[in-house]
Structure 1
Amino acid sequence: MQIHVVKSGESLWGIARSYRSDMNQIILLNQLENPDVLVVGQALVIPEGGREYVVQAGDSLWAIAQRFGISVQQLAEFNQISDPSLIFIGDLLVLPYFPHTVQPGDSVWSLSQRYGISAERMIQVNGLTNPSLLYVGQTLYIPRKPRPVKEINAYTTRTSAAGRNEVLALGRNFTYLSPFTYGVREDGSITEMNEESVLQAAKANNVAPLMVLTNFTNGSFSSDKAAAILRNPDLQETLITNILAKMEEKGYTGLNIDFEYVYPEDRENYNNFLRRVVARLRPAGYTVSTAVAPKIKADQQGLLYEAHDYPAHGEILDFVVIMTYEWGWAGGRPWAIAPINKVREVLDYAVTAIPRDKIMMGVPLYGRDWKIPWVEGTFARTVSPKEAVQLAAKYGVEIQYDETYQSPYFRYRDESGQDHEVWFEDARSMQVKYDAITNYGLRGGSYWVLGNPFPQNWPVLRDNFTVRKV
C-alpha cells in the first residue's frame, strides 16, 4: 500500500498507471463515488498489485485464495479474519507471500536484505534444498515483512443496526470494542444500554468488548456525580458489585473507566477507587483501564487535568487510554483535531509517568467544519474524513496540508456567502500518528469514534501493524 497526494491535472487512470495498479481496485479501496472528480491535495491509498487485493462484488475468500494460489486458512489467518464469510467490498487483503522473478546477480542473501526478511525464512517458504543455486527466471515467493503487533481499541456510540454492521465490517482491525456508555448513579447503580447487537458483531470478529463507565449524564460529564461515588467507599463497593453483574451478563472482558472533570480534591479518592476496582475485577479475569486527559506535565492546572494522576494510573491499571485529540474542539477556534506537535508533547510527558506498554494513544476518526471568522459561543459541525473531501470537491477548493500539525485543511465559501474552515484526518495524518505509536514504543491506539466513514484509515493501519487479538 502506498499513499498518493493528488496533483493538479492528474486523473485516476494516470495515477493507477504510474503505480502499475488497477484503477477499479483504487476506486473500491478509497470508496470513490465519482472517480472522475479528484481534489488537488486529496490523499489516496494505492494497493500494490500482486501483493494486495481489494475485495470486489461477488468475491469469496475461497475464490481469492484460489486466484493467488494460497490456502483459505493462510489468507484468513494473515489478515486476521476469524470468519471467512465476513469479507466486505473494499476490504484490503494482504497476501502472505508475493512472487519475485530471479534476476542476474540475485541471491538468497541479497533478496533477504532487499525485502527485510531473514534468509532462513525465505529458504523455508520456498523449500530450497540448495540456497546457493538460484537460476534466472526462477520464481521465489517472498514472505511479507513482519509488522509490529499493537493493540487497537475503538469506541462506538452507535448500538443500532448500522453500528452492528460497521463493527462486522471493521472488527478485524480491533483488539477491543468499547460501547459508550454506562453511567454511574449517586446510589451506586448504573444506567442501562441496549448494545447486544454490537457485542455480537465484536464476538464474530474475535474482538474483546470493554464496558465503558463514565460520570456522563444529560450530555455532559458531572463533577458532582463523580464526587458522590469517589467520596463514599461503601457506595463504591455497591457500584463494583453492579459492574461485575453487568459484565458477566453482557459478556464483557474488561472495564474502561472514563471519569472526566473530576474535582482536584478527589484525585486520591479516584486512585483509591481504581485500586478497589482492580482488587475485585482482576481476580475474576477482567482487565481494568481508564481514559485520561492529555497532560504535558504532572501539575497541569485545570478541572479536566488535575485529578488524573498518570503515575498512579500507570501503576494500578492494565492500560491507560490518553485522549490525544480535541485541540480543535467544537466550541473553540478552527484548529487541527490532533496536531502531531501537541500529541508528541503529551507523549513526551506520558512515557515518563506511565510504562510505555500500558499507553494507548488516542486517535480521532473525524474532522470539523467551522464558520469563519470564528465567533465566541458558536460551534463547529463534526464531519467525517470522507465528507470533508466531498465538501472540498463540491466547492472546488484545494486541500492544504499543515506541516507543523501534520493535518489537512481547507477553506470554502457556501451558497449563502458564509466562509468555512475545515480540519480533518487523511491517510498522511494517520500515518504520522501510527509512526508516533511505533517510535514511542506504545501499547497501541484508541479510536474516537466509530460512525465517521474513513476508508483510507484501515489499509494504512494494516500496513503498519498486526492487530493483537486476545
Structure 2
Amino acid sequence: MQIHVVEKGDTLWHIAQLYQTNMNQIILVNQLENPNVLVVGQALVIPEPSREYVVQPGDNLWAIAGEFGVTVGELAEVNNITNPALIYVGQMLQSPSIQHTIQPGDTLWQIAVDFGVTINELIQVNNIPNPSMIHVGQMIRIPNRNKPIAEVNAYTTQMDEQGRQEVLLLGRNFTYLTPFTYSIRSDGSITDLQDLQVLEAARATNLSPLLVLTNFVEGSFNSDVVATIMRDVDLQEKLITNLLNTMREKGYSGVNFDFEYVYPEDRENYNNFLRRVVARLHPEGYIVSTALAPKISGDQQGLLYEAHDYQAHGEIVDFVFLMTYEWGWAGGRPLAIAPINEVRKVLDYAVTVIPRDKILMGIPLYGRDWKIPWEEGTIAQTVSPQEAVNLAGHYGAAIQYDETYQSPFFRYADEIGQRHEVWFEDARSVQAKYDTVKEYGLRGLGYWVLGSPFPQNWPVLQENFTIRKY
C-alpha cells in the first residue's frame, strides 16, 4: 500500500499507470463517489497488486485466496476474518505472502535482503531442505514483513442496524468495542443502553466489548453526580455490583470509565474507587480501563484535568485511553483536531508516569468546518473525512497540508459568499499518528468515533499493525 497525493493534472488512469495497479481497485478502496473528480492535495490509498486486493462485487474469499496462491484459512487468519463468508466490497485484504520466481543469479540470502525477511522464514514457508539448492524458474513464497502488534479500541454511538453493519464491516480492525454510553445515577444504579445489536456484531468479529460507564447526564458530563458516588463507599459498592450484573447479562469483557469534569477534591476518591473496582472485577477476569483528558503535566490546572491522576491510573487499571484530540473543538477557533505536535506533548508527559504498554493513544475519525473570520460563540460543523474531501471537490478548493500539525486543511467560499476553513484527517495524517504510536512503543490506539466515513484509514492501519484479538 502506498499513499499518493493528487497533483494538478492527475487523472485516476494516470495514477493507476504510475503505480502499475488497477484503477477500479483505487476507486473501491478510497470509496470514490465520482472517480472523474479528484481534488488537488487529496490523499489516495494505492493498493499494491502483488500483496493486496480490494474486494469487488461478486467476490468470495475462496477465489481471492486462489489468486494469491494461499489457502482460505491463511488469508482469513492474516486479515482477522472470523467468518470466510463475511467479506465486504471495498475491504482491502492482505496476502500472507507473495510469489517470487527465482531469477538467474538469485540467492536465498539476497532474496531475504530484498524483501526484508529472514532466510529462516523463507526456508520455513517454502519447506526448502537445502538453501543452496534453488533453481531458476522456481516459484517461492515471500512472507509479509512482521508488523508490530497493537491493541485497537473503537467507540461507537450507533446502536441501531447501521451501527451493527459498521461493526461487522470494520470489526476485524479492532481489539475492543466500546458502545457509548451507560451512565451512573446518584443512587448507585446505572442507565440502560440498547446495545444488543452492536454486541452481536462484536461477537461475530471476535471483538472484546467494554462497557463504557460515564457521568454523562442529559447531554453533558455532570460533576455533581460523580461527586455523590465518589464520596460514599456504600454507593460505590452498590454501583460496582450493578456494573457487574450488567456486564454478566450483556456479555461484556470489561469496563471503560470515562468520568469527566470530576471535582479536583475527588481525585483520590476516584483513585480509591478504581482500586475497589479492580479488587472485585479482576478475580472474575474482567478488564478495567479509563479514559483520560490530554494532560501535559501532573499539576495541569482545570476541571477537566485535575482529578485525572495519570500515575495512579497507570498503576491501578489495565490500560488507559488518552483523549488526544479536540484541540480544534467545535466552539473554538479553526485548528487541527489532533495536531501531532500537541499530541506528542501529552505522550511526553504520559510515558514518564504510565507504563507504555498501558497506553492507547486517541485518534479522531472526524473533521470540522468553521465559518471564517471566526467569531466567539459560533459552533463549527462536524464533518467526516470523506465529506471534507467532497466539500473541497464541490467548491474547487485545493487541499493543503500543515507539516507542523501533520493535518490537511482547506478554505472555500459557499454559495452566499461565506468563507469556511476545514480541518480533517487523511491517509497522511493517520500515518503520522501510527508512526507516533510505534515511536513511543505504546500498547496501541483508539478511535473516537465510528459512524464517520473514513475509508483510507483502514488500509493504512492494516499496513502498520497486526491487530491483537483475544
Give the structure-2-normalised TM-score. 0.99
Partners of 1:93 and 1:230 lie apart in 2 by 47
Partners of 2:359 and 2:68 lie apart in 1 by 38
Partners of 2:290 and 2:25 lie apart in 1 by 40
**Within 5 A, what are the aligned runs for 1:326-337?**
326-337=326-337
Q: Which residue type is aligned with residue 227 of structure 1?
A: A
**Within 5 A, what are the aligned runs for 1:25-424?**
25-424=25-424
Q: Which residue type is aligned with residue 349 of structure 2?
A: Y
Partners of 2:424 and 2:326 lie apart in 1 by 11
Q: 1:449: which partner in 2?
A: 449
Partners of 1:232 and 1:95 lie apart in 2 by 55
Superposition deviation, residue 117 in structure 1: 1.2
Partners of 1:319 and 1:463 lie apart in 2 by 24
Partners of 1:416 and 1:166 lie apart in 2 by 36
Question: Which is further off, 287-296 or 130-139?
Answer: 130-139
Question: Which is further off, 113-122 or 400-409?
Answer: 113-122
Q: Which residue type is aligned with residue 141 of structure 2?
A: Y
Q: What SS does structure 2 have at the residue aligned with 1:36?
A: coil
Superposition deviation, residue 147 in structure 1: 0.9
Question: Could you give the per-residue CA deviations for residues 264-301 of structure 1, whole angstroms, max 9, x where no partner exists?
Answer: 01000000010011111111110100000000010001
Question: What are structure 1's unaligned runs of at least 5 residues?
Answer: none
Question: Which is further off, 422-431 or 76-85?
Answer: 76-85
Q: What SS does structure 1 have at the residue aligned with 2:257?
A: strand
Q: What SS does structure 1 have at the residue aligned with 2:132?
A: coil
Q: What SS does structure 1 have at the residue aligned with 2:398?
A: coil
Q: Which residue type is aligned with residue 183 of structure 1?
A: S
Q: Which residue type is aligned with residue 385 of structure 2?
A: P
Superposition deviation, residue 218 in structure 1: 1.2
Partners of 2:103 and 2:399 lie apart in 1 by 42
Partners of 2:351 and 2:410 lie apart in 1 by 34
For this pair of structures, how many residues does the alignment match?
A: 470
Question: Which is further off, 311-320 or 102-111?
Answer: 102-111
Partners of 1:372 and 1:7 lie apart in 2 by 27
Question: Is 2:68–2:98's contact at 8 Å kept on the other side of the alignment?
Answer: no
Q: What SS does structure 1 have at the residue aligned with 2:117?
A: coil
Q: What SS does structure 1 have at the residue aligned with 2:371?
A: strand
Question: Is 2:409–2:422's contact at 8 Å kept on the other side of the alignment?
Answer: yes
**Within 5 A, what are the aligned runs for 1:9-24?**
9-24=9-24
Partners of 1:352 and 1:176 lie apart in 2 by 26
Moved over 4 A (4+): none
Q: Which residue type is aligned with residue 436 of structure 1?
A: T
Partners of 2:128 and 2:288 lie apart in 1 by 48
Partners of 1:411 and 1:276 lie apart in 2 by 51
Superposition deviation, residue 113 in structure 1: 1.5
Partners of 2:36 and 2:379 lie apart in 1 by 34
Q: What SS does structure 2 have at the residue aligned with 1:368?
A: strand
Q: 1:5: which partner in 2?
A: 5
Partners of 1:105 and 1:324 lie apart in 2 by 51
Partners of 1:66 and 1:101 lie apart in 2 by 17
Partners of 1:285 and 1:135 lie apart in 2 by 54
Partners of 1:306 and 1:129 lie apart in 2 by 63
Q: What SS does structure 2 have at the residue aligned with 1:252?
A: coil
Q: What SS does structure 2 have at the residue aligned with 1:197?
A: helix
Q: Which residue type is aligned with residue 448 of structure 1?
A: W
Partners of 2:40 and 2:324 lie apart in 1 by 29
Partners of 1:57 and 1:281 lie apart in 2 by 45
Question: Could you give the per-residue CA deviations for residues 40-84 of structure 1, whole angstroms, max 9, x where no partner exists?
Answer: 000000000121110000011112112222111111011110111
Q: What SS does structure 2 have at the residue aligned with 1:137?
A: coil
Partners of 1:67 and 1:360 lie apart in 2 by 37
Q: Which residue type is aligned with residue 292 of structure 2?
A: V
Q: Which residue type is aligned with residue 363 of structure 2?
A: V
Partners of 2:407 and 2:69 lie apart in 1 by 40
Partners of 2:256 and 2:202 lie apart in 1 by 16
Partners of 2:3 and 2:80 lie apart in 1 by 23
Q: Percent identity?
A: 68
Q: 1:432: which partner in 2?
A: 432
Q: What SS does structure 2 have at the residue aligned with 1:256?
A: strand
Partners of 1:354 and 1:263 lie apart in 2 by 22
Question: What are structure 2's unaligned runs of at least 5 residues?
Answer: none
Partners of 1:264 and 1:110 lie apart in 2 by 61
Superposition deviation, residue 130 in structure 1: 2.2
Question: Could you give the per-residue CA deviations for residues 12-53 of structure 1, whole angstroms, max 9, x where no partner exists?
Answer: 000010100110001000000111100000000000012111
Q: What SS does structure 2 have at the residue aligned with 1:336?
A: coil
Partners of 2:291 and 2:283 lie apart in 1 by 22
Give the structure-1-normalised TM-score. 0.99
Q: Which residue type is aligned with residue 2 of structure 2?
A: Q
Partners of 2:403 and 2:466 lie apart in 1 by 28
